[in-house]
Amino acid sequence: MATPERIPAERRRRRPTRNGSLLSAETITEAALALIEAPGGNALTVRRLGAALGCDPSALYRYFPDTDTILLAVADRLIHDSLEGFVPGGNWQDELRDFAQRLHRSMLTHPRLAAVRASRVTTGPAEAHAVDTGLGILLRAGFAPDRTVRNYRLFVDTVLAQAAVDAAVLDLDEHRREQQGAAWTTHHAGLPAGQYPNLHRVREHLGLMAGSAFPEILETLIDRFAAQLGPEG
């Protein structure tokens, strides 16, 4: 039988679990995502993750120092998935629009991780690639380096923040989502004019407050950037 010294390092890192699968950073990340998205699965713990993988929870520490690091790895994996197949080239406005829509769609597909993705820096390879891609779109459009960074920060923070709001609403149960949407046209629109004169004045249009503002926000950002470039932008 081979001694530990003769076993390749990669094989030593990927030990089989009780259920026969190989333990790796990738399998841990996949299992963590499944746990988070399972009904009632908001709490990610090493014990639950070990049980799902069929291994001793302590084995996970060979790959990740804590659950927070696992959470960031999951977030980085979702960034990778959201931009898979994205090929820069062509009109910068269309590229930026596609880039934003992919991020927004991914956040809504995985709403329980939206807040983490909007507020944390993963330092993972997918995030680095995404930032590099976004900066490249703006640089090719003709923005100076400092303006590129400022615009990218405004762009990505706005897109992620709105996506997090939309994802939080999506994660509500159906009854609460309906209540939230109807509140504008029922409650607010029906408030007394004497106490709330401005709400009363626009009451027939308060239905516009329901739903996501993402499409309009995105176009407003793109128009603002184009204006910075002038008529040729």
List the domains of the chain with CATH numbers. 1-64 (1.10.10), 86-229 (1.10.357.10)
Distance from C-alpha of 93 to C-alpha of 111, rounded to nearest angstrom: 27
Amino acid making up residue 109 = T
Distance CA 205, CA 199 (A): 10
Q: What is the pLDDT of residue 92?
A: 97
192 has a pLDDT exceeding 60: yes
**Helices 214-229 and 145-170 sit at what angle, rounded to 10 degrees?**
170
pLDDT at 173: 86
Q: Give the per-residue pLDDT at 181.
A: 83
* Mean per-residue pLDDT, 17-39: 85
Q: What is the pTM of this model?
A: 0.84
169, pLDDT greater than 70:
yes
pLDDT at site 132 = 97
Average pLDDT value over all residues in the chain? 89
The pLDDT score that the predictor gives to residue 6 is 35
The answer to whether residue 120 scores a pLDDT higher than 60 is: yes
Phi, psi of 41 (to 5 degrees): -100, 30
Q: What number is the average pLDDT over the span 30-59?
A: 88
pLDDT band, residue 82 (cuts 50/70/90): very high
pLDDT at 19 over 70: no
22 phi/psi in degrees, rounded to 5:
-85, 130
How far apart are the C-alpha atoms of 72 and 103, rounded to whole Å? 16
- 161 closest CA partner among 128, 119, 98: 119
Under DSSP, is residue 22 helix (H, G, I), strand (E, B) or coil? strand
Over residues 182-202, the mean pLDDT reads 95
- Token pair 């993750």 is found at 49
User: How much is the pLDDT for 59?
Assistant: 93
> Do the beta carbons of residue 139 and residue 93 sit within 8 Å?
no
pLDDT value at position 129?
A: 97
Average pLDDT score over residue span 125-139 = 97
Split at pLDDT 50, 70, 90, the class of 188 is: very high
